[in-house]
Copies of this chain bind each other. A is one copy, B any other.
Amino acid sequence: MEKENFIDFSDLEVVALAGGVGGAKLAHGLSMVLPDENLTVIVNTGDDFMHMGLFISPDIDTVTYTLSAKANPDSGWGLVNETWNTLEAVNKLGGPAWFQVGDQDLATHLVRTELLGKGLNLTQVTQYFCERWGIRVRVLPMSNDPVRTIVFTKDGRQLAFQEYFVKERFEPPVKEFSFEGVEGARLTAEVSSAIYQADLVCICPSNPWVSIDPMLSIPGFRQLLKNKMIVAVSPIVGGKALKGPAAKMYQELGIEPGVEAVAEHYKGLIRGMVIDEIDSANADLLIARGILPMVTNTIMKSDADRASLAAQTLKLAIDLTGRAIHQ
């Protein structure tokens, strides 16, 4: 694919922090406007879980499927042209069919489990899939060590993330979150080096609570981000999340969901924020917080939308850098 931009991004080393569908789409957009070697996508692994013996890494799969243009375009997750023979048989057998795993998708989990069993770490396994699928940007799990997002519900339960998210369709009101194992999770050399070399870190429109916070909680991660140019794309649009429970979580935690809540979430971290046209009235609130806003369409319906949002996000960072230079 020919990469053509009005602004030259070829000198920009970019790290994107991504969760699932929204993050994957922006990462795909960034891969369309940046030279392959200039982009590293660091992906949340707090959703990873063992399911019927298989190691499943939902966000890594969504990101790699999206980057290699084989994600199901309707749902954003899973594979296009998927079949469901095994899941149907698991269901008939009374097995756990709540996690929607298609026949082709299953092969990913089987091969990942096999490779991990052979002693490869998650970074190497992810690289293996990227090579197989012709993905030339770097995709890195946030850590090779297990970090497991736990959702504490207001009715006093502790749910593993996928149980909360898929099995219970994120219905139970949340009280708080914990990232099991995060205090022992180590930064990988690949993640450290990518962030160290980055001119810009882009926080994708992913769930701040359960997609970005797990990464930020890894010991040393925030330290690495210090003095980096960081911009975020708001996952909240018009007070709502396009997908998933981000807005619902803010509400349940007593915070009005909106771009200001996201700005507050990333306080001290971001210097710019891309918000949707529908939220343009809130631009001043961001400026008052010292955050440079960029107002544009943030709803990525097409590949062109993805590329355009990516370009706008990079432009915001360049504006901020210019501003810094000229201050």
Closest to A111 in B: B95
CB neighbours of A83 from chain B (8 A): 83, 85, 103
CB neighbours of A92 from chain B (8 A): 107
Could you mark each residue 93-110 of chain A with 1 if its beta carbon is under 8 Å from any beta carbon of chain B, else 0? 111100000011011101
Contact assessment for B132 and A103 in the assembled complex, using a CB-CB cutoff below 8 Å = no
CB neighbours of A132 from chain B (8 A): 93-94
Contact assessment for B114 and A85 in the assembled complex, using a CB-CB cutoff below 8 Å = no
Within 8 Å of chain B (Cβ to Cβ): is A86?
A: yes
Within 8 Å of chain B (Cβ to Cβ): is A254?
A: no
Contact assessment for A86 and B111 in the assembled complex, using a CB-CB cutoff below 8 Å = no
Could you mark each residue 66-90 of chain A with 1 if its beta carbon is under 8 Å from any beta carbon of chain B, else 0? 0000000000000000010111111
Contact assessment for B108 and A93 in the assembled complex, using a CB-CB cutoff below 8 Å = yes
Within 8 Å of chain B (Cβ to Cβ): is A55?
A: yes
Question: Which secondary structure dominates where chain A touches chain B?
Answer: helix
Closest to A53 in B: B113
CB neighbours of A111 from chain B (8 A): 52, 90, 93-95
Interface size class of A (residues with CB under 8 A): 20 to 34
Could you mark each residue 127-151 of chain A with 1 if its beta carbon is under 8 Å from any beta carbon of chain B, else 0? 0010010000000000000000000
Q: Please report the C-alpha to C-alpha distance between residue A117 and residue B54 in the assembled complex, in whole angstroms.
A: 11
CB neighbours of A54 from chain B (8 A): 52-54, 110
CB < 8 Å: which of B53, B55, B89, B110 contacts A114? B53
Closest to A117 in B: B53
CB neighbours of A87 from chain B (8 A): 107
Contact assessment for B113 and A86 in the assembled complex, using a CB-CB cutoff below 8 Å = no
Q: Please report the C-alpha to C-alpha distance between residue A85 and residue B53 in the assembled complex, in whole angstroms.
A: 19
Q: Please report the C-alpha to C-alpha distance between residue A221 and residue B93 in the assembled complex, in whole angstroms.
A: 32
CB < 8 Å: which of B53, B90, B108 contacts A107? B90
Q: Please report the C-alpha to C-alpha distance between residue A111 and residue B94 in the assembled complex, in whole angstroms.
A: 8
CB < 8 Å: which of B93, B94, B96, B110 contacts A52? B110
Contact assessment for A53 and B89 in the assembled complex, using a CB-CB cutoff below 8 Å = no
Contact of A86 with B114 at beta-carbon distance under 8 Å, contacts A54-B53, A108-B93 already known: no
Closest to A90 in B: B107
Closest to A106 in B: B86
Contact of A85 with B108 at beta-carbon distance under 8 Å, contacts A52-B113, A114-B53 already known: no
> How far does the Cβ of A120 sit from chain B's closest Cβ, in whole Å?
13
Given contacts A86-B106, A89-B104, 11 further A-B contacts (CB under 8 A): A52-B114, A53-B114, A53-B117, A54-B110, A87-B107, A89-B103, A89-B106, A89-B107, A92-B107, A95-B111, A106-B106
